[in-house]
A and B are shown apart, each in its own frame.
Chain A
């Protein structure tokens, strides 16, 4: 295929312990380390491997957000993507609007495959890939742990609750990456230098002519209820006694 389109979302780094603001208006993101959503990084790695096998000509990374999202796109270019597109907006983007924006990019680029992460680790919605496939009217293969291309079809192994499901989809299609699809490569310094010269197009959101969806309104943020620390018992008989005490044995 000619092109693979990969979505990269800028999110709070997975190592950051997120805290709710004391006034309940959101979570603390000032001065917090930001990274590519880990599942999106896996999606990009898969696209690069497909290209390196000679099964795709070009890997395009795309993000939606403010100019700061260029950092994540540059990282994607350093990993090996050929070019990048930033759809610029300073507003929060809900999953359906995000899917419509990607549909706008599909109309422009006509990719043979769209690879996204199975969910973003900030809002944990797990919606955008499925929604994109729906409005595109194309197949979706979510939670992928293996992708094998075969001409105008792909066989995708999916991590489902009861095991591993294989589906065959006609291309073009949307595939969303799960944790075990691959291990993304590390970026080397020379690649970071090279990435600076790769093209990064900025498209104002308004230019795509996307019909913005009505978001689900977030009214209040709270920390989760914490479990209390319990007791330490000395030995197995004491453990059994404690379990019997709770009626669990």
Chain B
């Protein structure tokens, strides 16, 4: 039997959907017992949310003032303190998990499997390499604990409908104070979160300015969609970096992805290849984005986007 510990990602108030995606991945491992660990300073709500996710057998709630912010150097020794009870430890391949999990793996003396995209067995997985240009099947050593991050664009979040036991858990690990949180600048908006939105509208360099990006926001609001951007649009300063979709930004898998004025560089396409339906609006009919788009429309975005927005509102 596999006993899997999943490290919950949360902001102190709510559980990030990446956690339910890790649970969905772990549930593919045969004969698995899945526990979720919530490290926080006040995590009752987050622990309750984790306990509702289908497939979870138990939630460990670890309260400590030092866990107010998710600092890898502080969390890693606490996770290691629980590791003896588990055959696998999973975290999401978000910036939270990418930062944290290798630190856990190193303390446990094992290599990590990064970006699990499919489960072939308890110690066998597939993961992308070379910016998604190849997929490699990997086998973890059978006699060592498996530490992995889960490529969240590859999984649908496990549904709610559970009532798992929540256990307040103590952890005696020695915590360092050499790393201190200062602040977080976030362009948090009321729009759906880019990484979990069912629909995403993205704009590229062809928008031409930050002001013109309003066209994208308007269409997104009409559709109830999240907003993304190409690296070119971020580098040109039209939008902040957290909106970047692609290999070096966010890898997403919405049901509907609309690429507006985005030519479709490989690094961008890597970020959207798991989207349900891709729509491309571009004036260059030879743009690479049309090679992967399910529906394309060739023309001037400054005419098409307002027309589309009006027709839908």
Contact = CB atoms under 8 A, between A and B. Distances in A.
Contact of A227 (B112, B178, B273): B273
Contact of A131 (B102, B115, B130): B102
Q: From B11, B99, B241, B273, name the one whose CB has the most chain A CB atoms within 10 angstroms.
A: B99
7 contacts: A12-B130, A121-B130, A140-B103, A145-B241, A162-B186, A169-B179, A223-B134
A44 interface: no
Contacts of A215: 111
A5 B261 CA distance: 41
Nearest to A168: B180
B76 A160 contact: no
Given A133-B103, A161-B94, A163-B185, A124 B130 contact: yes
A229 B178 contact: no
A137 B102 CA distance: 13
Interface in A55-107: 94-96, 99
A229 B134 contact: no
B59 interface: no
A166 B187 CA distance: 15
B83 interface: no
A41 interface: no
Interface string B276-313: 11110000010000111111111000001001100110
Task: Across the A-B interface, give the 3 residue pairs with the lowest CB-CB distance, nearest first.
Answer: A163-B186, A131-B106, A230-B294
Interface stretch (A46-54, A190-198, A201-209, A238-246): A238-246
B195 interface: yes
A235 interface: yes
B109 interface: yes
Contacts of B76: 134
B95 interface: yes
Interface of B: 11, 71-73, 76, 94-96, 98-107, 109-115, 124, 128-141, 144, 176, 178-188, 195, 199, 231, 240-242, 248, 250, 255-256, 266, 273, 276-279, 285, 290-298, 304, 307-308, 311-312
A221 B297 CA distance: 35
Contact of B140 (A17, A124, A143, A216): A216
A220 B179 contact: no
Interface of A: 12, 17-20, 27, 94-96, 99, 121-135, 137-143, 145, 155, 158-170, 173, 178-180, 213-224, 227, 229-240, 242-243, 246, 248-249
Nearest to B11: A162
Given A223-B134, A239-B295, A163 B184 contact: yes
Given A160-B96, A222-B135, A248-B256, A134 B114 contact: no
B92 to A, nearest CB: 10
B167 to A, nearest CB: 27
Given A124-B115, A165-B184, A229 B292 contact: yes
Contact of A95 (B112, B242, B308): B112
Contacts of B250: 161
B296 A135 contact: no
A155 B298 CA distance: 47
B291 A229 contact: yes
Which of B180, B181, B298 has most chain A Cβ within 10 Å? B180
A214 B103 contact: no
A138 B73 CA distance: 8
A140 B134 contact: no
Contacts of B256: 243, 248
Contacts of A138: 178
A155 B183 CA distance: 11
Contacts of A96: 105-106, 109-111
Contact of A235 (B176, B184, B240, B297): B297
B204 to A, nearest CB: 17
Nearest to B140: A216
A224 B136 CA distance: 9
